[in-house]
Each structure stands twice: as C-alpha cells, then as structure tokens.
Amino acid sequence: MNRQQIGLKLVLDQLGQTLDLRTFDRRLALQKTVYLCQKAGVNLGYPFRWYLRGPYSRELTADAFQILSTPGGLADLTAQGWSLDEKSTKKLAKIRSFLASIPKQEATKQLELVASVHFVIAYNQGKADHPQGIEQTLRKAGKLFSLEEIRNAIGELTTHGFLPKAQARC
Amino acid sequence: MPSASLPPTVSSQKPKLVVDNVHGDIRLTTQEWRIVDTASFQRLRSLKQLQMGHLVYPNATHTRFAHSVGVRAIMERILNRVKIKQAAKPKLLLAALLHDIGHYPYSHLMENVDRVVLTEESLKAGAVGEKVDLHQSESAYPDHEELGREIVSKQPDLLGAIGSQELASEVGHLFSRTKIADQQLSKLIHSSLDMDRMDYLIRDSRAAGVPYGNIDINYLLNQVRMSRSGMLGIEHKALAAAEHLLLARSFVFRVVCQHKTTYGLEEAARQLLCRIRKKGLYKLPTKRKDILGLVTSKQLPTFTDAYLDQIFIQASTHTDAVIKSLARSITSRRPPRLLKEIRAFSKKDEKYGQGALFLRDCKQGLQSLAASSGVPAGQFLICELPSIGFEARGPNVAAAEALKMKEEGAEEMIKVFWPEEAKEPTDIVDVPHSMFHVIGDYVFRTYRLYVAYPEDDQDEVVAQLRQKVAHWGKDS
C-alpha cells in the first residue's frame, strides 16, 4: 500500500470503522466521513468534487478498493509500526464522537446533509452566507433538504469544529 | 453566487487560429488568445504530458499546452451537438482550456510524492514506528485541481485576461468540479465521454509512436446525444467505438504509462523527491503552504519540468549513496532495472494470491539481499502499480444498487442509447452484448521489483540479483 492508503486505513482505525464497500450506503458514509475529516484538518489529500449526492472523490474510491484487494490490506497497521501524528489523532477522537452521535438509521442522510452543506459554505457556492441561500443552491442541484435540516447541519458543523465559528454566519 | 458575465469584447473580435496535429484548425476567441498569451499559461509548454515517457519514446515530448488547446477543441465539438444554455458555453470552453493550469512539474509524478513509502520504511515497519503526518499545516501537496483554482484566481496575468475575479472563480470551480452546477451542466462535466481522455489517448499514442490510443474520435463525437433529462450518451451504433475507447485507455496505460523503464524512472524520481523533501534539500517545497505560495507568486513560470531537472542534477553528486544513485539513474539515463514482475487480470474486489506472495517475499528478503549484494536497500524499489480498470462498476449489480451507484462515481461511465429507441441512455456495462458486460469490473494488476544501480557493472549485478529473486512470489 502507498502512504496515502496507509493514512486512510489509520484514519478509519482511529474512527473505529471497518472498511466495507459492499453497499452504496457504506460507500457514501466513507466518502462523507473522509471529506469531513479533511475539512477538520486531517488532510489525506483526496480531491473532492461535487456529484449528485454531494462531495465525492473517485480517487478515494479507487484507493479503498485497492486496500481491500491488497494482501493484508485490512491488517492492523499500528501493530506493524505505523501511527498518525498527534494533532490528527486528537481531531479524529472528536470526529469519532460526532459520528457516534448520529443514529445509525439516519447516518446516510445525515452525513450527506452535513457534508453537502459544508461544501456549499466552503466553496462559497451561491448565497452561502444564510440557510435560505444554501437551501436554494442545494435544491438547484436536486437535493431537497428543509431549512430546519440545514440550520441543524450548520449547528453540527460549528459545534464539532468543521466550520470556524466566524464562518458560520448563518 | 451571481452568474459571472464575459467581457463585452469577446464575441466581437476575430478568432485566432491554432493548427494542431490531432484536431486540425482550432479557432480561439480573442479572450482565449489573451489567456494563452499569459506567462502563467505559457508555462504549460514546459510541462511534458507524459512525464518521463520521452526517456523511452523519444518523440513523446508533447506538452500540457497542446493538450489543453486540444481539450478545448473537443469541448467545442460536443457543445455544438447538445442543447445547453448559451451563456454557459464560453465558460465551459474556458474551463476546458484551463483544466490543466495547475499541473506540477512532471505532472502527477511530483503531485504524488506524498503517496511514496520509501523501501526501508516498508521493510522496517513493525520494528521502528513510522509516522504518517496528516495535520493540515504540515502535510500533503495540494492536488493539481486545487492549484489550478488558486492560479486562475490569484495570478494577475490570468485574472486580467479572464476579465473578472468572479468569472475566474467560476471557471476554476468548473474545471475542478467543485461547482454545484445545475444537473444538466453537472452531467455534461462529469460525462465519461471525457474530453480530457479523448485528447490524451490520441495525442499520447501519436507522440509515442504506438497505435493503441488511436480511437475513432470523429465517429464518437458525431454519435453523441443528450437525453431529455440532460444525460450524455452515444448512439447504439457507436458501441464498438466506445468499447475501443475503453480498451484503448487500458492499452495506453499498460504499454506507455506503465512501461517498465518509464515507470522505473518515475518511481526512482518519486522516491528521490521524497528523500530530498525529508532532508529539506535544494529548496524543494516541504509543505502544502510552500507550494501554494509558489504557484501564486511571480515564480510560477519557473515551476516547470526544468525546475525538477535542476534538482535531479544537483542530487546526482550528493554524498548520500541512495540519493546519488537514484538521481544518476535519471540524469545519466541508466534506469532502474526490473528484477521481477508479477501480473494479473482479475475482478476489482478479488485478492490476488501471487501478488501477495511476491510482496511478502520482497519485504522478508530484501534486507538480506541488500546485505549480500552490497546494494543499499533504498535502491530497491518495490512497486505495486495502480490497477488499470475499465469502468466504475461491473455488470450484474442489483438494479436498486445500480440506480444508487449512478449517483456516485458511476455517473462518469460511458452511456449508450440502447435499445435504440430508448429515451435515456444505459451504462455500457448493462448492454448485454457489450464486452464490458463481461469484463467491466476486471482490472490489470502489476507488481514489480526494481533496482536502481547506475554503475558500470550494472549488467552483472542485475543478472545475479535476478537469479536470487527468481523464486519470489512462488509457493514454496
């Protein structure tokens, strides 16, 4: 495995997640989780682009499949001597608690919502400085989230440090 | 964000002509010509398209400049065939022209330095801890699309030629696909009738002198159709041409990009740059912010292949034996020699047994091989090459799952209007008589072990090493 794939596996281990690409929901959760990690400063180096279901990185998909098909790809890398830097480890502990707070049955929708709202704000798309503007931008892209859902998502993003407080003007 | 408008002069002035060996005459608008004539864009003339491919195929010295103009030409041909908002067309053409503006010297070679695991790191992991630093301020060079966005929105010459900050930002978001466009535009941008691919397949294979990328571009472009919902596909009668496109990509990657000598040189360069960066030598940017600072400064035009060539030359006299050998392999063109290679063609999610054995044997046996041969372990290059596939998914995926997959990367798959009277196109892997219905989810995998040993007794040493590793990857 290359260093980026090793980093990805270490991040998932820190989050207590098993790499599993068998269903769409699991692949979506992986995409949005890694997107949020990167935006929190744990930079795995994957470029994310906008797709129908929000931020998506085909490079991440390719690496995830490569890890699964690599002999020993799912082995414990910490036991082999690899580790993450301390700042990233601390940030991942916070992200882990955020992920744990999402009810399992809502995980797909919630992650999609939070990551999509973040993307609109981070890349300053449309009128990204208020919830109505974000709702309009997302609706134009075919994503129907209510104003209340968007407000809650902004709250979650701010509370868990994915958005700096000054940027969450909504 | 309000829609940015183009400067009023654009459409009123006479277009300029570029004569291209792939697409023939390409007419650029005055605004596009102004962009092309900036130092920031001219830099692309000094970035070779095929990284180190020219060290094997001597004529493969074509550049990102010609490719960028070529992609713009294909975009125009597609836009002429589909119904799309008139106002969006000039922006899409600018996005096509500028899509590679953020490439690093030797393109993906330098961009991927963060992915490198040095040989001794992979050998000693388990005995001594190896740290992966992902903290944002320290880590990871930005990808070339992010650099591209920075360049178009911050380099004064490009900004001036584009006309406004707003338009520059919109174009940057379009080519890096970070723009939340309306669905029709999004489908056009993400279509796997990817203009980038169509251009580089033909251009790269012509320059290299190999026939594998010679796709039927005219027929493909003439058979493009947009459905009522905005989905781009090709007519069923062009199915063979579409299959050829997918096969061509696979062949060009295997024959040209992953050529044993080219890949060996590029891996030596990646490992060399990784070592140089770790030691902080030759002012090679060590951090993300250094790269961002460089590409938004007046130094951008110097950030070309020659920038790395100078570093390779300096490194070829360094006192560290590994750094010196890796650099000399490149500067003296004494490429790393292939000691052993394992190949496989299997399903994307299948594990590959012989590859596993080979990697295991490399990791277990290299230290003693290095000790017995006197060649430092760092000069051995263990390579698990990027797998080469065809499409984002294979056939036989449950219908509900396939529908969902269209909403992730699978929207980039080639789509065919089949049956012929169909109103909406179908993913090529779901056309029962397409060969990709059978092999759509197969990938080529390659594992290699090289040695970078640019000395006069190279042939003898390599012959001995090959003998010693001949049984690696085989069941004992």
Question: Which sequence spans correspond to the domains of chain A?
Answer: 1-101, 103-170
By the CB < 8 Å criterion, does A102 face chain B?
no
Which residue in chain B is spatially nearest to A70 when comparing CA positions?
A: B351
pLDDT at B22 over 90: yes
User: d(Cα B377, Cα B436) in Å, to the nearest integer?
Assistant: 42
Task: Please tell me the distance in Å from B128's CA to the nearest CA on chain A.
Answer: 6
Cα–Cα distances (Å) from B333 to B55, B83, B261, B303, in that order, read: 8, 51, 10, 23
Q: Which residue in the block uniquely carries the two structure tokens 């060590």?
A: B286
B45 and B301 Cβ atoms separated by less than 8 Å: no
- The pLDDT-based confidence of B356 (bands split at 50, 70, 90) is confident
Interface test with B, best of A1, A15, A24, A44 (most B CBs within 10 A): A24
User: d(Cα A22, Cα B405) in Å, to the nearest integer?
Assistant: 12
User: d(Cα B239, Cα B223) in Å, to the nearest integer?
Assistant: 10
pLDDT (tens digit, 9 = 90+) per residue, B316-346? 999 999 999 999 999 999 999 999 999 989 8
Average pLDDT estimate for B198-221: 96
Inter-helix orientation angle B321-331/B305-315, to 10°: 130
B69 and B97 Cβ atoms separated by less than 8 Å: yes
Burial-class residue A68 by CB neighbours within 10 Å (0-12, 13-18, 19+).
Answer: middle
Least Cα distance to A69 among B389, B428, B364, B256 occurs for B389
List of chain B residues whose C-beta atoms are within 8 Å of the C-beta of residue A141: 180-183, 186
Average pLDDT estimate for A36-60: 90
Q: A residues 117-156 near B, CB within 8 Å?
A: 119-120, 123-128, 137-138, 140-142
What is the ipTM score, two decimals? 0.86
3-state class of B388 per DSSP? strand
| DSSP states along B94-133 | HHHHHTTTTPPTTTHHHHTGGG---HHHHHHTTTS-EEE-
Tokens of A1: 């495995």
- Note whether B180 contacts A120, CB cutoff 8 Å: yes
Q: Strand A49-51 relative to strand A54-56: parallel, antiparallel, unpaired?
A: antiparallel
Q: pLDDT at position A167, please?
A: 54
Tokens of B396: 């036989």
Q: Which residue in the block uniquely carries the two structure tokens 């820190």?
A: A14
Mean pLDDT for chain A overall? 88
Question: What is the number of CB-based contacts under 8 A between chain A and chain B?
Answer: 167
User: B427 pairs with which residues across the strands?
Assistant: B415
pLDDT (tens digit, 9 = 90+) per residue, B245-272? 999 999 999 999 999 999 999 999 999 9
Q: Report the amino acid identity of residue A142.
A: G
Interface test with B, best of A8, A11, A51 (most B CBs within 10 A): A51
Tokens of A108: 């797909």
List of chain B residues whose C-beta atoms are within 8 Å of the C-beta of residue A112: none
pLDDT (tens digit, 9 = 90+) per residue, A56-101? 998 898 899 888 877 777 777 887 788 899 999 999 999 999 999 9
B150 and B295 Cβ atoms separated by less than 8 Å: yes
- The pLDDT-based confidence of B8 (bands split at 50, 70, 90) is very low
Burial-class residue B334 by CB neighbours within 10 Å (0-12, 13-18, 19+).
Answer: middle
Q: Strand A82-84 relative to strand B130-132: parallel, antiparallel, unpaired?
A: parallel
